Structure 1
Amino acid sequence: MLKTSAPGKTWWIAAVGFLLLFVSLYLKFQPLALHPVRSGLDPSWQAALAYGVEHHLLFGTDLVFTGGPLSSLYTQQFEPITAFAVAIISLGIVAFVALALGLLFSASGNVLSMISGWVLVSICMISKDTLLLLVPLLGALYGFENDSKRGLPVTIAGAYLSGILALAKFSTFPVSILAMLLLDVVAVRRRRVPLHFLVMVAGLYTGLFISGQPLAQLPAFLVASLQVSGGYSSAMSLSVFVADLAIWLAIAAVFIVVLLRDAASRAGSIPYDILIARPLVIAGFLFIAFKAGLVRHDLHTLISWSALAMVITAVGFSASYVGTRWKKLLIPMACVCIMPSYAALYVAYKMLPSENIRTLPQQISEGLVRGREFLFQPTVWLDKLKGENAASLAAIRQKTPLPALNGSVDIIQSEQSDVIGNGLDYRPRPTVQEYTSYTPELIERVRAFYDGPEAPEYLIMAPGSIDGRHPASAEGALWPLFFARYEPFIETDRQIILRKRPTAVSGVKKQDIEVQTELGQDVQLPKTDNPIMIAVDMRPTLLGRLAELIYRPPMSEISVNYSDGSTGVYRLIPGMAGDGFLVSPLVVDPVAYLKVSSGHSDYPDLRHAQSVKIKSGVRHGLFYQSAITVTFTELDKDVLRKASGGPIIENALLRDEKILPLLRANALNGATVSRVPEGLLAHAPAVLRLPVTPSSKLSLSFGIRPGGWQDGGHTDGVCFFARNGKQALAQRCLDPAAVEADRGEQTESFAVPADVHEITLETECKAGCAWDWSYWSSVAEK
C-alpha cells in the first residue's frame, strides 16, 4: 500500500483542487464551443468526418482516417446529431482530468503543493491531444497511488472514457490498452475482479452507439485505424529540428531514470507490481506522445512537449513525491518542458503567454454564457450552433461557389468543406483527403471505391499535394482509372469538374517497362510523348522497419530531369510509390491534367521527364535496400484523344495557344504564376521571361481579374511593363476599381529592338499587393 493521508484530512483540498483545475481546463479548451464548417485543409477533413456521422457512413469501411465517428471530441467540429453527446462527454473528460489531478495533488495534505500543481497545469496544458492522452494515464496513476477499492470509481470512469476516446483519436487507444491491462494485473494480484479492460470495451461500444454506428462495425474500425496508423510515420513525417528532438529525449530519459531510481529505493516498502507498472505506463504514454508530436515536426511538437510537462507535473506533485529529493528535480524539468511550446506558438502566431491572460475576461464571459445556456436552455445552445453553422456554410458558398451538380460528388484536393458548403451530394472516398492514401492497403480501398458502384458521378480535380510531394501524387496511382472512367465536364477558376463516362475507356494502359536499378542511380524514361506512370518498389531493411516502429525512417525523394533542362525534386512516400503516379509530362494544374487526360500530352508547353533518380536517407542501403525496381507504364494518348473532345478541351487549347511562348519559357507554381480562364496569372509582383524575334512588332494583352476589384476585392491597381533589362519598351498602369476603362482586357503594341532576343514581362504593385490579380492573356508577334 502507498502511504497517503487519511481521506478525511484531504477531501476539502481535493475539492478545491478539482474546482480550480476544472475551471482552468474548461476555460482553456471551451468544451461547449463547437465550431462550424470552415474552409481549409484541416477544417475540411474535420467537416468531412462530421458529415460522415450525419449521413450514417460506416467508419472503418466508408471512411478510414486518423479520427473516428466521435472525432468532434477532439476537433470540436459541430455536428447536429451528436452535438449534445459530444458536449456532455467533453465536459466529462475535463471533469475527469481535473478530478484525477486534484486527487493526486491533494493526497499529501499539502495545500501549497496542490495550488502549485494547479498553476503549473494551467501553464503546461496547451494541446488538446495531451488532454485526451491524459485520461488513461491519470486513471492508471491514480489507481497505482490508491491501491484499494476506494480508488475504483475513479479508475473505472477513466477506463470508460478511454474506450470512448478511441473513437475520437485513435492514438489514445494504445495508451488506454496498456493502462487498463496494468490496472487489471494489479487487481488480479489483489484478488479483485479485473474490470478495467472490460469497461474500456464497454466505452467503445457506447461510443459506437452514440455516433449511430452499428456495434458490429468495431472490428472493421480497428483494422482500418491500424492501417492508417501503420503508415503514418514514413508518410507524414517532416524534417526534424535536431536540437528540439535531442532535448526532449534527454529530459524524457532523465525522467524515466528518476522513476526507476525511485522505484529501486522503495523496493520492499511498496508492492513490486506497482513499482513496475507505474514507470511502464508512463513510458508507454511518453512513447505515443513522442510519435504524435515529433514525427511530424511542426506545431505537432506542442503535443510532445505539453505531454512531457504534464506527466512530470502529475508525478512530481503526487503524494509519492511530495517532500522527496526527486520533487526538487521534477518541477524545474516540467517548467523547462513548456518553454519550447510557447516558443513554437510565438514563431507561428506571434503569440505570447501573456495573451492568454489578456483574453481571460472574454474566455470567462463566453464560457459562462455557454455553460448557462447548455444547462438551462439546451435548445437555445443548439440553435445558436446551428445558426453559426448555417452562416458559415453560406459564407463558403459565397467565397468558393461551385456549379450545381445533379449527382454525387467527390473532390481530390483537400477542400471538402467547399463541397459541403455548396450543398452538393458529397460522397467521400475512404481516405477523405489525397495525402492520406499512403499505403498499398489504403490505396486499394480508394481504388475499389472509384472502380465500384458507389463511385461518385462527378469528380472535382486539381493536382497538387502537401509536404513537397509530386503534384501528380494526389491519388496518383488512380489517374489511369480516372482517365478511363471520367471525362471533362466543367472548367472553373481552380479546378476541372469531371463527369463519369457512360462506358469506361478501355486500352488506356499501353505497356510496362521494368528496370532493375539502385538508389541514387539515374534511370532513363522511355522516349515517347505518351503519358508515363512510374512505380518504385522500395523495400525497407530490418533497421528501416525498426526506425518506422520506434520513430520514423529517413525521408525519400525523387529527382526528375525535364526536357527543358530543369530539375524537380519531390518528396517520395515509399508506401505510395509502389502503386505509382504520373511522372511525365509534369502536371501542375487542372489545365495540364485536362490536356493529358484528353490525349494531348504532346502539347508544346508540357514538360516531359527524361530521367529520374531515387534517393533515401544519408546512406543508401541503410534503411532501404539499395536494389530497387522501377516500372514505367506507358499510357496511350491516341486512345485518350479518341475518347475525349468537346468545347472544354478546345477552349483550353485555344486559350493556351495565345500565351504559348510564356508557358514554354516560365515554370508555373500553381499560385502566383498559374493558368486562369483569362490566360496566365502573374500576381504582382511577378517577372516572366519572353523570347522574342529581333525587329518584330509585339502585341500584348493583359488585365486584372474581376475578383481583384469586385465582390470584396480591393486592388489599388497594377502596373504592367515590357522591359529589355532596365529599358521599358511598353508600360501601362491599371486601376479598375476607380477607372472603368481599365476593366477587362487591355492591349499594348511596340517594336522589339533589332538586337534583342528576350524581354521580361513584369507586373508591379502600387501601394500594396493585396488583390493584385494581374494576368497576361495574349502574346502576338508580327
Structure 2
Amino acid sequence: MLLALLVFTLNTQPPSGHATWGVDPSWQQALQYCHAEGLQAGVDFALSHGPLGFTRSPYFHPATYWANLAWTLLYGAVLTGAVLGLCSTLTLPWRFPLIAVALLQAPASGDLRLLLVAILPTLWALRSTRGGAWPSLAVCAWLGVLALVKHTLLFLSLPALALLVYKTWRTQKPFALALPLTWLLSHVLAWVALGQSLGAYPAYLGWVKEFAGFYGPGAGRAGPTWELVLGLACLASLGAYALICLRELPEPDERPALAFLIVLAPLSFKMGFVRHDVLHTFQFFGLWLALSPFLLPAERSARRALSAKLTLGLVLLGALTQLSFMRRVHPVARGNTALQLLSGPETLRARELVRMRALKEETPLQRIAEIVGQDPVDVFTFSCGAAILYELNWRPRFTLQSYVAYSPRLAEKNAASLSGDSPPQHVVMAWLCLDQRLATTEDGPALLELLARYELVYRHPSGLCLLTRRAVPRAAPEQLLGSFEPALGEWVELGSLGAGAKSMRVELDLSLAGRLYALALRGPGVFLEVRIKGGDVGRFRLPLPLARSRFLIDPLVRSGKDFQGLFAGELPLGEVEAVRLVPNEVGAWAHADRAKLEVYAAPAVAPAR
C-alpha cells in the first residue's frame, strides 16, 4: 500500500503554472487552447501530438482544468497499477529498477511517464497468465485511446497490438480477432468524443506521416559523444541479451513480452538520441532502466546471471548520469504533487487564477495586449503561451509554433495563414530560434509574407515588437537572381547579385552512406557560414528540410533587436557578401557531391525618412 501511495502521489501532478515565452510550455498550453476552442487536428492545426495531447500538459488553463485533472489522476492510477502488477511477477532484486523509475525518473519527465503509461500495461498483459484474454482486451482499448495523445504512441501501439494478438491467438482465437476491433473502436470513439470530425481523420493521418518523416532531419541535434556511446552500449547489451533469451526460452508464453521489448529498442533509441539533449537522453535511460529487469532472467544459469548483472549495471550507469537533471525537475523539488489536492481541487483552481493575474503584470506584453484588444493576433516564433496568458484572440498558424515547420509543406501552410482569407490583424514578434539555427530559417516563407503584408507599430526594449497588417501590401519580388551548384565548403558570392534584400533556398541530398547513417542514428547535418562586409563570418546550423523553403539571407538577422530593425528599415542591405555550406561532425561523405542553391529577390522595408 505504501508503494502504491508513493507511486500514485508522485506521478499525479495537478495542473499548475502558466506558459509565457518558453518553447515546451507554450506548445503544451497551445494544445489546451486547441481543445478548448474545438479546433480540428489535421485541419486547423498539426503538431507531434494529437487531439488528446492536451492531457499531458502540466500547466493550468481555466477551460481545461477539470479535464486535465481527471486525466492526470487516470494516468497516475494506470501507472501505479501496472508497476504493482509487474513487480508481483519479479523476484525482489529485479523490482528495484522499476520502482526507482516510478518514484524518481517518471515524475520528472512527462514524456517518460506517458511512455510508461502505455508500455507497462502492455508488458503486464503480455506476461499475464490470469484472466484469460480480458487483460489484452482492456490494454488494446487503452492503447487505442492513448494513440491520440502523441504520434509516438500511435506507432508504438501497432507492434504492441500485433504481439497481443499473437499471444491470444494460441489459446483463444475468437478473442484474438476481437483485439484489433477493440483498438479501432476505442480509437474512433475517443476521436469523436474529443469533438473531432471523422472527415478530418485522413488529413490528420497525413500530417502524422509528414511529422514522422521530417522530425529526424528537422529537429535532430547532436549532444555529448560519451552519452551517445553509453546509449549505444546499453542498447547493444540489452538487445543481445534479449535475443539470447528469446532463442533459449522454453516457455512460448514468455516470448511475446521479450519480442515487444526488442521492438522498443530501436524505437526508444530514435526518440532518445535523434534529438540528443538532456530531456531526451533522460527519457531514454529512464525507459531502459524500467524495462531492463524483464530482459534479465537471472535464474537461467550462473553465466546468464553474471551477464544479466553486468548489463543492468551498464543501464544503471547511464541512468545515474541524469541525476542532476532529475534533482532540478522532480515534482518533490518543485513542491508539485498530488498532495496539493488535499486542499481541494476548487481551491487549487482559484489559486492558479490569482497567480495567472499576477503573472500578467510581470511580462512585457501588457502594452501590446492593450493595443490589440480582441483583434485576431498570432505570435512568432514559439512563445504562444504569452497570448494564452493574456487571453488574446489568438489565431494560430497551422503548426502553432515556427520551429516545428519541419517540411516545405508545413512551412507553406504557415505562410498561407498570413495571406489567406482570414489572416491575423496583428502579429506579436518574439523571434527566437533553437539549436544555433539561422533565425530567418524558422518559418522562412511566413517571414517573407510578414515583410510584405505587415508593418511595425510598437517595439519593446527587450526585442519584442508588434506588427499590424498593411492596407496595401509591399511589393514582394520573387525573381530568381542566381542559381548555383557549389560543393561543400565552396563560397558562393552574393555581392554581384545586387544590393537589395535577398532570400535563398538550398537543396542538398544525402549520399547512400548518409541515408544508411540517418536510418541508424540521426540525419547528417550541415552548417551555413555567412561572410559579411568586413570579413566577419557567422556560422549557423541549417536543418536541410527547412532550407528547401525560401528564407531571408540578406539583410542578416541574428537577434530580436535585429528583427525590430528589419521591420523598421534600419538594417543595411547588401551586407552579406558570400555563403557556403559546411558539413557537421559526421563529414562530407554523408552528402551528395554538390548542393543546389537558388537566390531570389525578397521584400524589403524602406528606411524611415
TM-score, scaled relative to structure 1: 0.70
Q: In the alignment, which residue of structure 1 is the partner of 2:133?
A: 152
AA aligned opposite 2:46: V
Deviates more, 1:471-480 or 1:297-306: 471-480
Q: Check whether the contact 2:46–2:400 (CA below 8 A) recurs between aligned residues.
A: yes
Q: In the alignment, which residue of structure 2 is the partner of 1:454?
A: 422
Q: Distance in 1 between matches of 2:353 and 2:298?
A: 48
Q: Distance in 1 between matches of 2:19 and 2:485?
A: 48
The Cα of 1:619 is off from its aligned counterpart by: 6.7
User: Does 1:437 find its partner at 2:415?
Assistant: no
The Cα of 1:282 is off from its aligned counterpart by: 0.9
Q: In the alignment, which residue of structure 2 is the partner of 1:193?
A: 175
Q: Distance in 2 between matches of 1:433 and 1:585?
A: 23
Change (3 A) 1:139 1:391: closer
Per-residue CA distance 1:568-605 (angstroms, 9 max, x = gap): 0000010011112111121234554455456665x4xx
**In terms of Rg, which structure is larger?**
1
Q: Check whether the contact 1:309–1:333 (CA below 8 A) recurs between aligned residues.
A: no
Change (3 A) 1:533 1:127: same
Q: In the alignment, which residue of structure 1 is the partner of 2:264?
A: 285
- Count of residue pairs the alignment pairs up: 598
Q: Check whether the contact 1:464–1:588 (CA below 8 A) recurs between aligned residues.
A: no
Segments of structure 2 that go 5 or more residues without pairing to the other structure are: none
Q: Distance in 1 between matches of 2:449 and 2:576?
A: 22
Name which of 300, 310, 321 aligns with 1:343. Answer: 321
Task: State the secondary structure of the residue aligned to 2:437.
Answer: coil
AA aligned opposite 2:33: Y
Q: In the alignment, which residue of structure 2 is the partner of 1:205?
A: 188
The Cα of 1:448 is off from its aligned counterpart by: 2.0
Q: Check whether the contact 2:48–2:208 (CA below 8 A) recurs between aligned residues.
A: yes
TM-score, scaled relative to structure 2: 0.89
Name which of 69, 72, 88 aligns with 2:70. Answer: 88
Per-residue CA distance 1:341-395 (angstroms, 9 max, x = gap): 443342x58759xx98x869x67xx53451x56xxxxxx5145225404522541
Change (3 A) 1:593 1:130: closer
Q: Distance in 2 between matches of 1:44 and 1:485?
A: 26
Task: State the secondary structure of the residue aligned to 1:398.
Answer: coil
Change (3 A) 1:322 1:202: farther
Matches within 5 A, 1:593-742: 593=563, 595-597=565-567, 603=572, 608-618=575-585, 622-635=589-602, 637=604, 640-641=605-606, 649=608
Q: In the alignment, which residue of structure 2 is the partner of 1:99?
A: 81
Change (3 A) 1:255 1:343: closer
Q: Check whether the contact 1:539–1:625 (CA below 8 A) recurs between aligned residues.
A: yes
Task: State the secondary structure of the residue aligned to 2:174.
Answer: coil
Task: State the secondary structure of the residue aligned to 2:151.
Answer: coil
Q: Check whether the contact 1:313–1:331 (CA below 8 A) recurs between aligned residues.
A: no
Q: Percent identity?
A: 21
Name which of 231, 236, 245 aligns with 2:219. Answer: 236
C-alpha RMSD of matched pairs (Å): 3.1
Change (3 A) 1:627 1:537: same
User: Does 1:534 find its partner at 2:517?
Assistant: no
Change (3 A) 1:102 1:592: closer
User: Does 1:500 find its partner at 2:500?
Assistant: no
Task: State the secondary structure of the residue aligned to 1:434.
Answer: coil
User: Does 1:40 find its partner at 2:10?
Assistant: no
Q: Distance in 2 between matches of 1:594 and 1:81?
A: 34
The Cα of 1:447 is off from its aligned counterpart by: 2.0
Change (3 A) 1:135 1:499: same
Per-residue CA distance 1:504-561 (angstroms, 9 max, x = gap): 3344334431112222211111432211111111122333333333321222100111
Task: State the secondary structure of the residue aligned to 1:482.
Answer: helix
Name which of 535, 543, 553 aligns with 2:513. Answer: 543
Q: Check whether the contact 1:517–1:628 (CA below 8 A) recurs between aligned residues.
A: yes
Q: In the alignment, which residue of structure 2 is the partner of 1:141?
A: 123
Change (3 A) 1:396 1:81: closer
User: Does 1:55 find its partner at 2:37?
Assistant: yes
Name which of 453, 468, 472 aligns with 1:485. Answer: 453
Q: Distance in 2 between matches of 1:412 and 1:558?
A: 23
AA aligned opposite 2:504: I
Q: Distance in 1 between matches of 2:574 and 2:150?
A: 42
Q: Check whether the contact 2:525–2:544 (CA below 8 A) recurs between aligned residues.
A: no
Q: Check whether the contact 1:561–1:609 (CA below 8 A) recurs between aligned residues.
A: yes
Deviates more, 1:207-216 or 1:56-65: 207-216
Q: Check whether the contact 1:286–1:307 (CA below 8 A) recurs between aligned residues.
A: no
Q: Check whether the contact 2:15–2:68 (CA below 8 A) recurs between aligned residues.
A: no
Change (3 A) 1:511 1:160: same
Per-residue CA distance 1:661-681 (angstroms, 9 max, x = gap): xxxxxxxxxxxxxxxxxxxxx
Name which of 23, 28, 47 aligns with 2:10. Answer: 28
The Cα of 1:280 is off from its aligned counterpart by: 2.9
Matches within 5 A, 1:354-503: 367-370=338-341, 372=342, 380-382=344-346, 384-400=348-364, 401-403=366-368, 404=370, 405-406=372-373, 407-493=375-461, 494-503=463-472
Q: Distance in 1 between matches of 2:313 and 2:328?
A: 18
Per-residue CA distance 1:241-260 (angstroms, 9 max, x = gap): 22222222222222222222
Q: Distance in 1 between matches of 2:471 and 2:399?
A: 26
Change (3 A) 1:591 1:79: closer
The Cα of 1:155 is off from its aligned counterpart by: 2.7
Name which of 100, 109, 121 aligns with 1:127. Answer: 109
User: Does 1:522 find its partner at 2:506?
Assistant: no
Q: Distance in 2 between matches of 1:209 and 1:463?
A: 36
Q: Distance in 1 between matches of 2:562 and 2:333?
A: 48
Name which of 34, 40, 47 aligns with 1:65. Answer: 47
AA aligned opposite 2:378: D
Q: Distance in 1 between matches of 2:61 and 2:196?
A: 15
Deviates more, 1:322-331 or 1:80-89: 322-331
Q: In the alignment, which residue of structure 2 is the partner of 1:554?
A: 524
Task: State the secondary structure of the residue aligned to 1:517.
Answer: coil
Higher strand share: 1
Q: Check whether the contact 2:489–2:580 (CA below 8 A) recurs between aligned residues.
A: yes
Q: Check whether the contact 1:308–1:337 (CA below 8 A) recurs between aligned residues.
A: yes
Change (3 A) 1:221 1:35: farther
Task: State the secondary structure of the residue aligned to 1:231.
Answer: helix
Q: Distance in 1 between matches of 2:488 and 2:43?
A: 36
Q: Distance in 1 between matches of 2:309 and 2:70?
A: 33
Q: Distance in 2 between matches of 1:117 and 1:307?
A: 9
Q: Distance in 2 between matches of 1:472 and 1:101?
A: 46
The Cα of 1:564 is off from its aligned counterpart by: 2.0
User: Does 1:304 find its partner at 2:268?
Assistant: no
Name which of 153, 170, 174 aligns with 1:172. Answer: 153
Q: Distance in 1 between matches of 2:123 and 2:73?
A: 21
Q: Distance in 2 between matches of 1:600 and 1:117?
A: 58
Q: Distance in 2 between matches of 1:593 and 1:89?
A: 41
User: Does 1:512 find its partner at 2:481?
Assistant: yes
Q: Distance in 2 between matches of 1:327 and 1:206?
A: 46
Q: Check whether the contact 1:309–1:337 (CA below 8 A) recurs between aligned residues.
A: yes
**Structure with more relative contact order (C-alpha pairs < 8 Å, separation 6 or more):** 2
Change (3 A) 1:218 1:22: farther
Task: State the secondary structure of the residue aligned to 2:485.
Answer: strand
